Amino acid sequence: MPAPDRPTAAAVIVGAGRGARFGAADKIIASLAGRPVLAYSLDAVQSAATIEAIVVVAGEHTQETVVELTASGKWPKVVATVTGGDRRQDSVAAGLAAVPAGIDLVAVHDAARPLAPPALFDACLAAARHSGAAIAAIPVADTLKRVAGGRIVATVSRESLWAAQTPQAFRLDLLRRAFTEANERRLDVTDEASLLEALGIPVSVVPGSLANLKITRPEDLAFAEALVAARKHTLRGTP
């Protein structure tokens, strides 16, 4: 069989956290405008033109519900649902292990970011195809303060500061090598880009979206519901 004329891509959707700040362990299956939060993330990845396979990583506490959801047939790109680990990087590693053979690029996405535009996945993967690694991010807009003991100790310049989002996209071989080296060096990081940064590997930035919020606290869910309602009105042409 001839080699494909373009890299093939998969997505790993990570939702194995315990939701401590949300106040419930099952935030990815919490109701967002009548549907589970995870369903929206699956919709976005399913609609991304460049993604051919989806692996979902769930926690033990939500595994049964997530398997039932992904087995519904609504998202035919889903090829596996696996159990995550104690740390984010353990969960992502579990997802990478389930990526089908023949995949060249992978996008890692937080299940708790339900409103990422499908085109953002395509843009990050296109950038990763060119440079090896790319993430969605937005410039920091707020004035930043360093605080100690409940008091401001310094104002931090926001120049050149960006807030990282997901998806984060990589050449699969590069990300797997980063995980191997990180384990050897016992690195503990909060996102995949940090693994590559620690190894001196450049990571490109793709402009993200303000709507691509992460459901972290209960008020985030209310904000997301307002965005979902606004989208529905726009699609229907409602003033």
pLDDT in tens, 192-221: 999 998 888 899 999 999 999 999 888 999
Q: How far apart are CA 136 and CA 209, in angstroms?
A: 8
Domains defined for the chain, CATH in brackets: 9-236 (3.90.550.10)
Q: Half-sphere exposure of residue 85, counting CA atoms within 13 Å on the CB side? A: 11
Beta carbons of 172 and 105 less than 8 angstroms apart: yes
Contact of 121 with 107, CB cutoff 8 Å: yes
Look-up of token digits 């549907």: 35
Rounded Cα–Cα distance for residues 76 and 68 (Å)? 14
Q: What is the mean pLDDT of residues 179-197?
A: 88
Q: In this predicted model, what pLDDT tens digit does every residue of 139-164 receive, in sequence order? A: 999 999 999 999 999 999 999 999 99
Distance of CA 228 to the CA centre of its chain: 19
More confident residue, 189 or 69: 69
Radius of gyration of the chain (CA): 18
DSSP state of 10: E
Quick check: 196 and 170 in contact, CB under 8 A? yes
Which residues, 6 or more positions from 68, have their beta carbon under 8 angstroms from its beta carbon? none
Lowest-pLDDT choice from 81-95, 107-121, 203-217, 219-233? 219-233
Average pLDDT over residues 12-31: 75
Distance, CA of 94 to CA of 56 (rounded, Å): 10
Q: How far apart are CA 1 and CA 217, in angstroms?
A: 49
At 21, the pLDDT band (50, 70, 90 cuts) reads low
| pTM, full prediction | 0.91
Q: What is the pLDDT of residue 80?
A: 96
Residues facing residue 144 across a β-bridge:
156
Give the mean pLDDT of 28-34.
92
- Over residues 63-87, the mean pLDDT reads 94
Name beta bridge partners: 108. Answer: 12, 168
